[in-house]
Amino acid sequence: MALFAVYLVCALVGAWIAFWRAPEWPRYNLLLAIAAVPQIGQVLGIRISEMFVVSVVAMTLWCLCNYRIAGVPMVAVGAAFNALAMTWHGGAMPVRADILAELGYHFDPGVLVEGSKDVVVHHSPLWLLSDWIVISIGTFILIISPGDILVAGGVVMWLLFSRTAALERESSMLACHSASHAETRKNLIPGHSTRPALTRLALLAAADPALAERLLHDPFDVANAHPHYHVTLDANDRATLAAIRARARTVGEFLGELAAEVDGF
């Protein structure tokens, strides 16, 4: 029950920080739930060795799907350390008998500790990855592994920094889009293009959404019959408009293709 109390407190604190910071939310969290179910089962005394494999596969897939999010790589390394130690001991986390004895708990090697995912061992070749770090606060005692510390550190990093990373990516994308849009508008200025008729037509369409809609359906008649600005198209311009019309499905695509032709792309 003490372990569940720790999990509950950590979850509540994490939820409060998440509400305050609004971190980037990972994808495919069902995989994370699938990975957690066997671990919870072990704590409750339900131990099925095949479920450990399911847990490892689900956790691996989740980390691969979210590796770009801040903190997830650290979580992945911590989970891998724990998985290595647990794999060596049949899906249970090893804890040394001498460490438990120093805390006043005496178990024979091979015993599964009730209310945890630990198995008592005399020695393990991967003991550095096992539960050996003791946290003692008054009567409360918790034994954790280096992998647990990395997982906790990764979660903290996700809570505090993933929102910043996401905003930086959005800002970068917006800056690139704005620069591209400004460059397109500059190149549409008459006299800066080798296609002056198409340039005039693009400017008229950009200024009048209704005209742009009509151009999408019948560019030749609209260009020749504009009520205020007559645009004379040569054979090359007409062929270009026909090709754009064949490719474009929306007004936005039509204007984008037209601007690209004007810019010479």
Q: Mean pLDDT across the stretch 117-146?
A: 89
The answer to whether the pTM exceeds 0.85 is no
According to the model, what pLDDT value does residue 167 have?
Answer: 56
C-alpha span between 81 and 130 (Å, rounded): 9
Mean pLDDT is highest, among 127-131, 169-173, 232-236, 254-258, for: 127-131
Q: What is the pLDDT of residues 188-242, one digit of tens each?
A: 444 455 677 778 777 877 777 777 777 777 655 555 545 555 667 778 878 888 8
Taking the CA of residue 188 as centre, how many other CA atoms within 13 Å lie in the half-sphere pointing to its CB? Answer: 21
Residue with tokens 């992998």: 147
> What is the full DSSP assignment across 214-247?
HHHH-HHHHHHT-SS------HHHHHHHHHHHHH
According to the model, what pLDDT value does residue 194 have?
Answer: 67
Q: What is the pLDDT of residues 14-50, one digit of tens each?
A: 788 877 777 888 989 999 899 988 888 877 777 777 7
Give the length of the chain.
265
Asked whether residue 77 carries a pLDDT value surpassing 70, the answer given is yes
